[in-house]
Chains A and B, each alone.
Chain A
């Protein structure tokens, strides 16, 4: 409890059109000390102006005005990365497979087993926390990356592919010396400790040499 208080309080977003289910699950989650925000439909949730807090979504597969799976897609498109736990009155296998493939944490059928739900929520929150930390790192790296000049970015892309300076110079039609200077600048700006470190950063940033 104390740990949770000091840390960022996770929020469970519950989306279910059935009032009984919504009320019961909300009650259950509160009884274990979770913060719950519930919505009747996906649209309601999307329209709500809420801060992007740590948490997860418990989502009914069948919803009026668009299924849970569709909402999942929409959320991804609108860069909402909250992990999703699907709940369904009568889930079938193809649907659960599809849900899991598109990144769902868990696919639970009603009536919900308390432990399964709570476990899934725990997992989801953990996953969100991790994702958020990762995202923070990436954001830092991105900020560093943004300080690079365009020439430095070009060099960066080639460096992380593990090519020697000579090759890079040839490819970019620069002198080897210039490449070396850029390379040291990059390492400094990106605060990389080693090439390996730099390559990992590039991974996280999603920088690839493919397009160049």
Chain B
């Protein structure tokens, strides 16, 4: 207001100054021209009226008084005096003043009204939520609203000279449209981004209408730029959101149905239709019942009825649908009836294909039931434990299978039994082992594998076998999972088998011993001879010694030599005896590392006489580098003895031809040692190369038929193999292998 007042004062002062000069000039002109009072009065009046257009009422009023004074002084008789000669001049002066005041008053009022209008317009223009502008018919801008200027940050002059800055991408389009509008006179409407004072671009809807005169000629363009940035963003967002939702609706792997109360499909998403093998249009307007499995339609109707009765309540069910091609799928439907804004009740259905899930669930259920059965049949219970803290004992049960409850003999309805209760059921002698095993699990993360005795609630003692291992998750043991088997019967059977096996072993050992004695029996003569020879030597040497001593002079040196021989021969006899005794002795088999050559040589010595008596010759080829074998010496010698005696017997019954025996021990690359006994005897029946190893198979008149059977069992218990082949041109070959390693097949 103060501003207003000041400007008013300023304009009044200017008005008074200009008016003063104007009056002075006019007065001078009129005075010189000697114009009369009335004419001058008109001239003044015109001046004052004109001046009132630029100044305030006060200024005009003052000028009017001054003008009356001038008229009175210069043009009313008497001139140069404010005295009025003629009364008509007074009237004229009064009329002038009145007219002048009225005119200036009217002018002021008119001006005020015009000012107000302009102010209102300005407010209006500036209040419109748009950037308003106008342009001349040639397109050059001549006005920009305050908002326009504020938005662009340009001054009015800058705005007029350079216009606003349009986003480079929009510039061409805007300019083209504007040119077209100017050329055709059609209203302009274009969307473009304009730059703000801050340098940001915002979307505007630019519109311009031409103003035409009576002749239709465009005189001006009026335009407005409406900020549509927010709207545009909102629209874009809406469009995006709608697209998104449409995508969701159409392609979400859920079938959506909208059905009216009578079951007619109002809409269905593309996915839903496709899942059923239809197109959307094939379903819309049709009864929804046609996609349901015939037997389930009744069920559908009941369910829909429930929905319709309970508006807004969600119901779900599982049922079968039928595809267009007739195949059936299982679905879960979630449905609810709602009242639409048009007061129509519709049912919304979301439907999910659960065929696979159902199959998986069925399979899972089935496999679970199989597992329960399998566990029951196998007597295996499974369990899982977790720990209350890291590094603690695995004492918090998470899972016990049904069979586990049965094996541990606890009531599942009472919850997992505490660890110490379970522990108390373990046989006292096995508890320490169990504790140790559990400690290993906790401390060393070792797996558990332990057999222990466990008493059931009724005191019955069972043998259980538990195995377990830690399950790791990202490197940290999180669970202790395992299985427990009731192996009571199994253990009993094993024990029985073990006993039977032991008995069998004893029987075998006895049989082996008997067979050995039998074989040795055949050697009695030879053995006696072997002992007798050195003894004969001893006696004779003794006699000789006595004679050397008795001679005159006593032949001491000779006697000493005799005694040396006595010692040697006595040792030899003793060796034979001990060798035989070791074969006769009933000792449990004891496997040691031995050189097979030594065993063979010992047997060759024992059988020497037999060989001679059979008028045969025995060649031994004992390779020096045979590997050591892991064997029981006596049993091994028994086999060799048996094979050599058989060979001797085979050649002794010959009536002609050579009687050759051959024994060799060589290294066998595959199995360690290969021993061969070859004879040129009667040979074997080629069809009975295996039968000869059967017990009680014999070709000897007084044989037991145990020799080869026992030999084979001995060799096999050493992990070797004994077999027979035919010799060329005549005779038999018996061979066995022995592994060098510590293999114990028995």
Contact = CB atoms under 8 A, between A and B. Distances in A.
A25 B529 CA distance: 17
Nearest to A22: B537
Contact of B540 (A62, A90, A114): A114
B28 interface: no
B614 to A, nearest CB: 11
A27 B558 contact: yes
Contacts of A89: 528-529, 532-533, 536
B537 A31 contact: no
Nearest to B535: A111
Given A21-B533, A90-B525, A110-B536, A31 B565 contact: no
A27 B534 CA distance: 15
B558 to A, nearest CB: 7
Contacts of A21: 533, 536-537, 540
A32 B551 CA distance: 9
Contacts of B532: 89-90, 110-111
A24 B547 contact: no
Main secondary structure of the interface of B (DSSP, over half): helix
A152 to B, nearest CB: 51
B612 A28 contact: no
Interface string B528-564: 1100111111111101100110010001001001100
Contact of A20 (B548, B558, B569, B612): B569
Of B528, B534, B609, which is in contact with the most chain A CB atoms at under 10 Å from its CB? B534
B613 interface: yes
B333 to A, nearest CB: 108
A27 B562 CA distance: 7
A23 interface: yes
Interface residues on B, range: 20 to 34
A112 interface: yes
Contacts of B539: 24, 110-112, 114
A64 to B, nearest CB: 5
* Among B525, B534, B543: residue with most chain A CB under 10 A: B543
Given A62-B612, A114-B540, A20 B565 contact: yes
B572 interface: yes
Interface in B554-602: 555, 558, 561-562, 565, 568-569, 572
Interface residues of A, number: 22
A18 interface: yes
Nearest to B570: A20
Contact of A31 (B528, B529, B547, B612): B547
A137 to B, nearest CB: 37
A167 to B, nearest CB: 54
Nearest to B608: A64
Contacts of A32: 547
Given A20-B536, A111-B532, A111-B535, A31 B544 contact: yes
B536 A27 contact: no
Interface in A1-45: 18, 20-21, 23-25, 27-28, 30-32
B218 to A, nearest CB: 154
B547 A112 contact: no
A89 B269 CA distance: 118
Contact of B536 (A24, A30, A66): A24
B547 to A, nearest CB: 4
Contact of B565 (A27, A63, A90): A27
Given A27-B558, A114-B543, A90 B529 contact: yes
B536 A111 contact: yes
Contacts of B558: 27, 31
Given A20-B569, A89-B528, A90-B532, A27 B538 contact: no
Interface in B630-651: none
A20 B533 contact: yes
B613 A62 contact: yes
A90 B568 CA distance: 22
A111 B538 contact: yes
B547 A28 contact: yes
Given A89-B536, A90-B529, A28 B541 contact: yes
Contacts of B613: 62
Given A110-B536, A111-B532, A64 B612 contact: yes
Contact of A90 (B528, B547, B615): B528
24 contacts: A18-B536, A20-B568, A23-B537, A24-B537, A25-B540, A27-B541, A27-B558, A27-B561, A28-B547, A31-B543, A31-B547, A31-B558, A32-B547, A65-B615, A89-B529, A90-B528, A110-B533, A110-B535, A110-B536, A110-B539, A111-B539, A112-B539, A112-B540, A114-B540
Given A27-B561, A112-B539, 18 more contacts: A18-B536, A20-B565, A20-B569, A21-B540, A24-B565, A27-B540, A27-B544, A27-B565, A28-B541, A28-B544, A30-B544, A31-B548, A90-B525, A90-B532, A110-B533, A110-B535, A111-B532, A114-B539
